[in-house]
Amino acid sequence: MNEKIVLKNGNIIDENGKVTENINVYVSDGKIDKVTREITNGYDEVDCTGNYITPGFVNLHTHSPMNIMKGIAEDISIDNWFNEKIFPYESKLTNEDIYWGAVIASAEMLNNGVTAFADHYFAQEEVYKAVEDMGIRADIAPTIFGLAADYRNQLNEAIDFVEKYQGKNSRISLRLGPHAPYTCPGDKLTEIINAAKKLKVGIHIHVSETEEQVDDSIKNTGKTPIEILYESGGFDVDVIIAHGLWTKKEDLKFINNKSFFAFSPKTYMKLSMGEGNIYSLKDDINYSFGTDGAASSNTLSPLEQARLFALNGKFINNNAIDFKTIDIWKALMNGHNALPFNTGKIQEGYASDLLIWDLNKINTFPVYDPLTSIIYSSDSHNIKCTMVAGKFLKFDGKLIEDTNNILKQVKKIQDNILQRGKGESKIQY
């Protein structure tokens, strides 16, 4: 199939949830040429009769290499999850582990309709290589721990990485990833943010994840983590705030429209992190959905996270009318606005990162409202095709990549991780 493709006679669902039936989407050179009912020759045809075409999903916060540790730390407290399991195992990960973790994560995301993700991890060149090889889009933020003994080296390596790779691949953007205000205390957070300003990139940071973090921050500094981020200059740049579960109402004055929150409710439920405040503040926050790493959420599906967010919100707020389907869809689509890829709209000139949905299946049929079918009934089997930059990476229900080889390689990595066992972590949670 050449790079001139027409998705013929499909039903479009746009970023606002509007449905337009029986229309053609013409794609060439990675972009949408036109959306019309007119017929133009010279394009390879993909018959979308009876199917729905939507923008792809964005996973706005994940740690893709952590797919390699999916299921390794279960049924334990959040403190022990980090300190007794994840950090010790991570301390012995090799570059090969991280590469294949990012590869299998990319495959899972493509299968789930994710066309771009925002990553926060170390050994960033391995993640970069995996993204290049898999054809997906990614915004990569090298993790920096300000409390680590090798903090200065981490910062310098992150700066070098951005300087070396920024702009080299149109599917990949870069930013800096200070881990959190409590792990990058004092002047270190300001130093990292100043480096991002100098590089003309944004940041991706964990903020106000737990109630204890917020309480400790107020006790030790007199300020919330959001306020610390503000005073460090974090809102002067584009910022992805991972979680923000315990953001306070008084924090809202610090936040601007360049700030995007990535909610991951499955992780909050899994690690018993509490209700937080996001369900009451969501109308005042610019948000979309992330999955966190698969070591905590076990799956990489922003759609699943959105579904849980809606259900939790209705339950916690005791209001079945709120958290409307259309608003959840718009929040899913809002992830595109956080990344610089010109995606998220099915309009002429936008990047052709698209999904083709088959809702004529047992789990979604009959279809009274396609958005309801997608958000509350669908799964990856309903995603017939995933297209990134005009190329099908999933077609007719199957990933293009050789998944058997990926599974074979990851099995070897799994065996090696168990054989090596745990090491010593550089930091305590």
Which three-class secondary structure state does DSSP give residue 277?
Answer: coil
Overall average pLDDT of the 209-236 stretch: 97
Question: Which of 426, 372, 402 is closest to 103 using CA atoms?
Answer: 402
Q: Which CATH architecture has domain 62-338?
A: Alpha-Beta Barrel (3.20)
- pLDDT classification of 2: cutoffs 50, 70, 90: low
CA 289, 295, 297, 301 torsion-angle sign: positive
Confidence check: pLDDT of 47 > 50: yes
Q: What percentage of the chain carries pLDDT values higher than 70?
A: 99
**Full 3-state SS string of 306-358:** HHHHHHHHHHHCCCCCCCCHHHHHHHHHHHHHHCCCCCCCCCCCCECCEEEEC
Q: Which pLDDT score is estimated for 142?
A: 98
pLDDT digits (tens, 9 = 90+) for 248-282: 999 999 999 999 999 999 999 999 999 999 999 99
Q: Which pLDDT score is estimated for 429?
A: 64
| Separation between Cα atoms, residue 97 and residue 120, nearest integer Å | 16
Confidence check: pLDDT of 295 > 50: yes
Q: Which CATH class is domain 5-55+343-399?
A: mainly beta
Question: Which of 223, 225, 173, 226 is closest to 202 using CA atoms?
Answer: 173
pLDDT digits (tens, 9 = 90+) for 153-169: 999 999 999 999 999 99
Q: Which pLDDT score is estimated for 186?
A: 86
CA 330, 335, 338, 342 torsion-angle sign: negative
Q: Is there a shared CATH topology between the 5-55+343-399 domain and the 62-338 domain?
A: no
Global confidence as pTM: 0.97
Q: Which residues contact 207 (CB under 8 A, 6 or more apart)?
A: 180, 181, 225, 226, 229, 241, 242, 243, 244, 247
Tokens for 366?
């009959």
Domain boundaries along the sequence of the chain: 5-55+343-399, 62-338
Overall average pLDDT of the 40-48 stretch: 95
Overall average pLDDT of the 193-199 stretch: 98
C-beta of residue 346 within 8 angstroms of C-beta of residue 119: no
| Separation between Cα atoms, residue 171 and residue 165, nearest integer Å | 12
Overall average pLDDT of the 401-418 stretch: 95
